[in-house]
Every structure is written in C-alpha cells, then in structure tokens.
Structure 1
C-alpha cells in the first residue's frame, strides 16, 4: 500500500539572534514649534503690505499699514478736547480767585457794618444785607472750586481718550511681535479689515523653523505603550526613502473621537537645522516603545502558526494564551511542539527568553506543492519531447 502524496510542505527558518523592536505607528502633521498669528486691532483699509510668503522678519519690523486718516482725525479731536478742558480749568481757577477776592471784600464790609451797628449808626436791615452778600460771595467761591474740580476731571477724561486714540493710531502700523519667517499672508493692499468682534488674522509667523514638532494621533489601544523621551522615526512624502529622527515630548490627555475611534495627540520634538522639513507636511510616524539588541528571536508568524491536525496526532490541547512554536524533526510531517517564554514582542520578531536555542529549525508556515508539481510535470514533458 502506497501512502497518498501530500499536497503541501512546511517552510522552516533557523532561529537566530538579532534585534527586536516594538513600534507604535501613527500619522501626524509637522508644525512650527511657535507659530504666531499677527492680527489687526483696528479697522480700516490695508494701504501697504511690506512682506511676502517666506520673508524673514525681525521683531518690530513693519509688516503692513492700515489707512490712518480716520485715526489721525480722532487724535486731533481728542487733543482739542484736552485743550478745551484745560481752558475750562483756567476759567474755573480765575473764577475761584475772583470769588475769594469778592468774599474777602464782603467779609471786611460786614465787619465794618457790624461795628457800626453796635454804635447804632447802621440799622439791623443794613447789617442783614451785608451778611447776605458775604454768604453769597462764599457760595460763589465754593461753586468756582467745584467747577475747577469738574474741569480737572474733564481734562483727565480727555487725556485718556487722547491716549486711546494715539494707541489706535500706532496700531495702524502692523509690526512683527517676534523674529521668524512669514509662513502665511492673508491680506493684500486694498483689503478692508474689521476688528469689531474679533481680531482678524493678517499674517502667521513661524518664530523658529530650526526646531519643529509633529502632532501625531495615536490610537487608544497603543497609547499605553508611549512614554515621554522615547525615540521616534518618521518619514515624509517629500523625501521618499529618507528617515528623520524625533523624540516624544508630551502626551496630551484630552481624547479625540472620530467615527467612534478614540485617539490621543502625541507631541514629538524634531530637529530641523537643515531646513528640509516644512510646516504642514504629513509625517508617517514610528514610535520605538521597546528595543532589545542581540536576543534570541523568532518571526511573529511562527507563534501564530499551527501544523495540520493530521501531522500532530495525540497532541494535547493547551490554553490559547500559552505561547508555542513547532520545531522541524527528521520526519518533515511530524513537527515537535515547544512551549516558549516570550520577552519583548515586536511586529516582525518576538524575543524568546526560554524554550528554544539559536540554530533550531522553526516551522513558520506551510505552502502548497500542487502548482510546483504541475510545473515539474511540464518540464519533464518538454525534456522528453526534445530527447525524442
């Protein structure tokens, strides 16, 4: 009796030593480390724009100008109000001097009349008339003092309005708050900006493009492996085949949910001294969450592989959580099961702490031999035909 030929074979690979890396993959965007949005705090028409995209700027440099005609008129009006209030104060102070002089005269007159009234030379009615005149002069002095206080308050109010008008006039000149590079320009000469409810943005300045950051979205299933300071490798579509280095700086605790998928924002520090990376580029990120050099390792597929049931008769079932691999023996179709102890688990390779040794032939998968046999038959037929 001849056994039925098998239509499959097992593929083996020798256990070796090497590096095992555990990675978390994500995608994100490159951003400038400090992006400043420059806006307008006053309304008006843009008359001049002095910078363009990618223009380097220094702190205090003029970027644009808003038509200052209306603002200058307001400053002149405020100055006139200050001058008017100062004139009112001078008038009130003159009234005070006049009222004090008049009150002094009335007081002296009253004293003379009172002295004469004791001697009977002036009637009581005449003395009362003098007393009323003295009281009226004193009331006039108090009124003049109140007018002077009001004039001083008007001066303070007018000066405050003048300061506000001068500040708005100075804000018609848009200057750079910090040194950097203009990465976005949102206005052109002739554009009208309105700063009534919110400050309109005119420019965006990247303060320092030699250092950048990647804002990567990491799935909630992987975020537990990410720690600050871990090394990161990433690529961008602009430079295929080139890998850039980064470091995990921060893990944002605020979750983002999109279509029932929860993710967390991870901030990565990037050195960009050569200036190749630009804001807005898409980064394909690999965060290295674990690394073991020169360890016994096996392909991750070997832990998931199971030979056919006919090739492992009498084998007792183990819990699905027990890690096992299969070693090739002298009989190709009678592999040996080994229980192993796992170490670091990467996507491609898994560290083996105990259970197998370097050099063992590990079964990693099976493959069909039907197509291979068909090709061999065709080759044999071709050889026979050529020989005949």
Structure 2
C-alpha cells in the first residue's frame, strides 16, 4: 500500500462501488433492463442464401474439330451479335469444299455426256423408224425380203434401247449432281463453322480456349465461351428451407447483401418458386428465383447473396422487442403469477413482463400479438405506446455473470 498508494485507492474505490450497488439493490447482484413499446414497422422475413446469375447466359461451342488459330475476345469483352470470337484451323474443311466442288463439276459433265447421247439416240430412233416403215411398205409389195424387214426392225429396237440407256445415264448423272451438291453444302457449312460467331450481344463472362487449343467435337459440342446476354438484370438462385417455403409467394419484396458491398443493401422481387426439391442429408430445400435490377453494374455473376424475403410487413404499428415476449424474470421474482400463453382467435395470446412498483417485483401483462418479425413483434392489445417492458437481466458484478432471461 505504501509503494502503490494510487493503485490501492482505485481498487478500494471499485470494491466500495460494487458493495454499494449490491446493498442498494436489496442484496441482489443483477437488475432488469426494460425497453419502451413504440410505433414502427414490423417485418417478417425468411432468411436464405443464394448465388447471383446472369438472367440469360449462352454457351458458345464448336461444331467442328480442330486447332484454335485465333481468339479475338477476352474476359469481360462486350460483343455484338454476329461478331467473330475465334477461328479454328480451316485447312481440312476448305479441302473438303474443293473436293466436293470437283465432284459436282464431274457429275455435271456426266450429265452433259448423257444428254448428248440422248440427242444422238433420238435421232437414230427417228431414222430407224422411217427405215423400218419404208422396208415394211416395200415388203408388202414384194420388193424386200422378210430378212431385210427383220434387219430393219432389229436396228429400230437397238436404237430405242440406246435411247433408254442414255436417259438412264442422264438420270444417274442428275442424282450424282444432287448428292455432290449436298456434300458441297455440308463441307461449306463445316468451313463456316470454323469461324466462331457471337449468337447475341452481351458480355463474355467465361473464356475456355486460347490460340493453340485443340477442340474435339466428335461426341459432344465443346464449350468455348459463355456470354451473358444482359447484365443490367440478374437473378438470385436462393435455397429456401422447407419449413419456410410455405410463406414465400411470387412478387414478394426481397432485400439482400453481398460480401463485396457489406454496407449496401440491394432489392429484388420473387420471380419464381421451383417445385422440385433439393435434399442435402436430412435437409430439404426449394429453389426460389429472384429478379434483380443491376443497371449500375455492381453485381457480378457468382457472388453469394445473403437473402431476406419479406413475407409480411406492417407499418406504424405498436411493437415490442421479440426478446420481451420470451423473457422470464428470475423465479424468486415472479411470485405466484402463472406462466405461458395460449391461442385466442386470430391473434396469439402471450405475456410480457413490465416493471412493478418495486424493482424486483415485475408484473406480468397478457397481450395479443400480431405479426412476428425477427427483431420486433406487433402488439394488437394489452400495451400502450411508451410503456416499458422487460427484455433481459443485467449483472451488477461487472464480470458479465448474471446476464440472460
């Protein structure tokens, strides 16, 4: 004490203050904390977590195999419909086009030959028809033998057969042309597909290839780019627990935050409630789609959203803290007053504790509560604005003990 008189005096003063607080409270080392019933807003919310997605994302793939020779866009590049995104080596598709054109030309040449044969055969048929008719007339007058008539008839039959053969060759040539044209169109289509074109305007949010990358489209279309068609509007895919999904309705207001902007609160609307359930262990949840305005561009795809769906709200109503409807004074301070509550009509019967004439003799008051929010509860009957209600007990020891209900 002689060495540290100041420290000793401070410790003594603290001890005296603690003793005074204990003695002034009738020997109790705690006190009750009250808050006033007030007018304000009561909101009932359903909490969930979700992920931000672009409203309309398009995967751009390759329908032909080959090596990427050039890439003209990068992450976050704005693109317009029809813009060239990348190119695949076109050597083989171009060779196929050349080969298919040659086949078309060859088939057309065959058709020309067949048509020329038809023309010759028609002429020959006409000549042999006239010759057979002349010899037949002479045979009837006895100037031509039967053998001569047979020879003319055979020549006519041969000419008609040659005509039929030429016509068949022409038909085959036409079919060959159609087949070659189909192969040419297929080759030209594959050649055009070596140029990867943006199907719509938007922003490139994912790029999976670089020059030199080889893509194989033998079994499925490989994805090269992902384009967000419109980032001014986005959606949140929120997972809502089955216990809360019954309160969620289309068109309800939503507020949410993201870790990137912890001080900012964003607004959304419930757009869709998916009926298909997701199960993770014993937990069952449902996907709720939220419509979000992102005209300022701050929100990005993939961000985690901490969602509060407002399932009910009342403004300018009498309210008390939720803790007051759950609070119980210490057993020795309750006296003979009964505990608990019961249902009564549409409003729920409950009880709150209010300060009594003595600090440690609180009085229980029956109240009817309406909308229950996370922080406040609506009081429809039993209290008046400004009336104090007990919310917790507070320790007077200064060490944090004695806190709670």
Q: Same fold (TM over 0.5)?
A: yes
Could you tell me which of 333, 358, 381 is aligned with 1:354?
381
2:244 aligned with 1:222: yes
Q: Closer, same or farther in 2 for the Cα pair 1:74/1:374, shift >3 Å?
A: closer
Find the counterpart in structure 1 of residue 370 from structure 2: 343
CA displacement at 1:62 relative to structure 2: 1.1
Find the counterpart in structure 2 of residue 386 from structure 1: none
Q: Relative to structure 2, which stretch is displaced further, 302-311 or 113-122?
A: 302-311
Could you tell me which of 261, 271, 286 is aligned with 1:239?
261
Where does structure 1 differ by over 6 angstroms across 4 or more consecutive aligned residues? none
Find the counterpart in structure 1 of residue 129 from structure 2: 107
CA distance in 2 between counterparts of 1:160 and 1:289 reads 60
CA displacement at 1:265 relative to structure 2: 1.6
Could you tell me which of 17, 29, 47 is aligned with 2:51?
29
Three-state SS of the structure 2 residue aligned to 1:242 is strand
Q: Closer, same or farther in 2 for the Cα pair 1:12/1:264, shift >3 Å?
A: same
CA distance in 1 between counterparts of 2:145 and 2:60 reads 83
CA distance in 2 between counterparts of 1:286 and 1:373 reads 36
Three-state SS of the structure 2 residue aligned to 1:323 is strand
2:70 aligned with 1:48: yes
Show the 5 A alignment for 1:18-97. Answer: 18-97=40-119
Show the 5 A alignment for 1:139-218. Answer: 139-218=161-240
Deviations 1:134-169 (A, max 9, x none): 222212212211221111111111111111111111
CA displacement at 1:348 relative to structure 2: 0.9
2:345 aligned with 1:298: no
Q: Give the conservation status (yes or no) of the 8 Å contact 2:327–2:391.
A: yes
- State the TM-score, normalized to the length of structure 2: 0.85
- State the TM-score, normalized to the length of structure 1: 0.89
CA distance in 1 between counterparts of 2:282 and 2:110 reads 71
Three-state SS of the structure 2 residue aligned to 1:229 is coil
Find the counterpart in structure 1 of residue 21 from structure 2: none
- Alignment RMSD: 2.2
Find the counterpart in structure 2 of residue 364 from structure 1: 391
Find the counterpart in structure 2 of residue 254 from structure 1: 276
CA displacement at 1:228 relative to structure 2: 2.1
Q: Closer, same or farther in 2 for the Cα pair 1:373/1:175, shift >3 Å?
A: closer
Structure 1: which 5+ residue stretches go unaligned?
Answer: 376-388
Q: Count residues with an aligned counterpart.
A: 371
CA displacement at 1:48 relative to structure 2: 0.8
CA distance in 1 between counterparts of 2:400 and 2:211 reads 76
